[in-house]
Structure 1
Amino acid sequence: MRLDKFLKVSRLIKRRTLAKEVADQGRISINGNQAKASSDVKPGDELTVRFGQKLVTVQINELKDTMKKEEAANMYTVLKEEKLGE
């Protein structure tokens, strides 16, 4: 599954266009490597996303094309959240 689609379906980022912009700005890495919006993700991958002053690391549990809002958080596990530049 494409990275931008995963971010949208899992609701880590609400819109796919926004997910693409964040990836194009170099604010996402997969398993430590810089990621593009078109990068493939698979279960077990570790994503690190920078949201403003916050760095969030999640592990992908499952991939589905559609997901109910209540179940979207089951697609990933948050490993750590850290604040930047305090």
Structure 2
Amino acid sequence: MRLDKFLKVSRIIKRRTVAKEIADKGRIQVNGRVAKSSTDLSVGDKLVIGFGNRTLTVQVDELVETTKKDAAESMYTVLESTDKSAE
């Protein structure tokens, strides 16, 4: 599954176009490498996403094409969430 679609389906980012823009600006890493929106994800991949003042690190647990809102959180596990403005 493409990175931008995973971010939208899992509801980490609300819109696929926003996910694409963030990825293409180099603010997302997959397994330690800067990723583009078209990067293919696999179960077990580690994502580091930079949201301005916040950094979110998640692990991909499941890849599904569509999901309900309450089941979206089962697609990933949050490993770390840091807020740079609190420092």
On whether the aligned pair clears a TM of 0.5, the verdict is: yes
Matched, 1:36 2:36: yes
Matched, 1:75 2:65: no
Q: Secondary structure at the match of 1:23?
A: helix
The amino acid across from 2:52 in the alignment is G
TM-score normalised by the chain length of structure 2: 0.96
Deviation per residue, 1:13-70 (Å, 9 max, x gap): 0000000000011110000100000000010000000111000000000000000000
Percent of pairs with identical residues: 58
Query: Which runs of 5 or more residues in structure 1 are unaligned?
Result: none
Correspondence list, 1:1-86, <5 A = 1-84=1-84, 86=87
Structure 1 segments of 4 or more deviating over 4 A?
A: none
Q: Secondary structure at the match of 1:7?
A: helix
Cα distance in 1 for residues equivalent to 2:37 and 2:4: 5
Q: Secondary structure at the match of 1:48?
A: strand
Q: How large is the RMSD of aligned CA atoms in angstroms?
A: 0.8
Cα distance in 2 for residues equivalent to 1:58 and 1:22: 16
Q: Secondary structure at the match of 1:82?
A: strand
Q: Secondary structure at the match of 1:79?
A: strand
Query: Which runs of 5 or more residues in structure 2 are unaligned?
Result: none
The amino acid across from 1:7 in the alignment is L
